[in-house]
Structure 1
Amino acid sequence: MDVICLEDKAFFALVEAVVGRLKPENDTTGFKWISDVDAMHCLNIKSKTTLQKLRDEGKIRFSQPQKKIIVYDRDSIEAYLEKHAKETF
């Protein structure tokens, strides 16, 4: 077995390079359309019924590319949250 020794700076530079290469592949924050699970997580709700109510009342945008597939617009969810944000004292 070979042992490789690195200085602290070289080690952290290597780790940053690896993370930099992996991050774009696994980063879903850039997607405009998100799943119902992600939408529920963003809204901090646990019920699909509540999510459907927001959708049916036109409070958040959605797209239905296929009969059983519904995706939600991340920007409309953020706008909904901003609209209902309360200012602190």
Structure 2
Amino acid sequence: MKTDNLIMISEENFFALLEKVISYFETREGRENEEIWIDTEAAKKMLSIKSDTTLFKLRSEGKIEFSQPSRKIILYKKASIIKYLEENSYKPY
């Protein structure tokens, strides 16, 4: 025969635990909704460039990741753009 275990905690600790659980799920939900792939205009905006040619050059040199689900649609991996920007940032002396 299985017996149920009972765990008792104070009201204060219960609400503290509840807040942590809610915070965890809010954080997790935010990450799931974050865009992984962005379009050309968003990529150019992140890189602060206006030229499609410059974006093409970064793509063809393998400096940023991209996906081409159809002939006219090119999507860029947001994380690779952030990585590229971080690798090309300069720290002050």
Q: Do Structure 1 and Structure 2 share a fold, with TM-score over 0.5?
A: yes
- d(CA) in 1 for partners of 2:57 and 2:89? 19
How far is the alpha carbon of 1:84 from its aligned partner? Answer: 0.3
- 1:46 and 2:50 are equivalent in the alignment: yes
Mapping for residues 55-74 of structure 1, pairs under 5 Å: 55-74=59-78
What is the root-mean-square deviation in Å for CA atoms of aligned residues? 1.5
Which entry has the higher C-alpha Rg, 1 or 2? 2
Structure 1 stretches (4+) deviating beyond 4 angstroms? none
Query: Which residue, out of 79, 85, 91, partners 1:87?
Result: 91
**TM-score by structure 1 length?**
0.67
Q: Which runs of 5+ in 2 are unaligned?
A: 1-28
Q: Which runs of 5+ in 1 are unaligned?
A: 1-23
- d(CA) in 1 for partners of 2:82 and 2:49? 14
* Number of residue pairs aligned between Structure 1 and Structure 2: 62
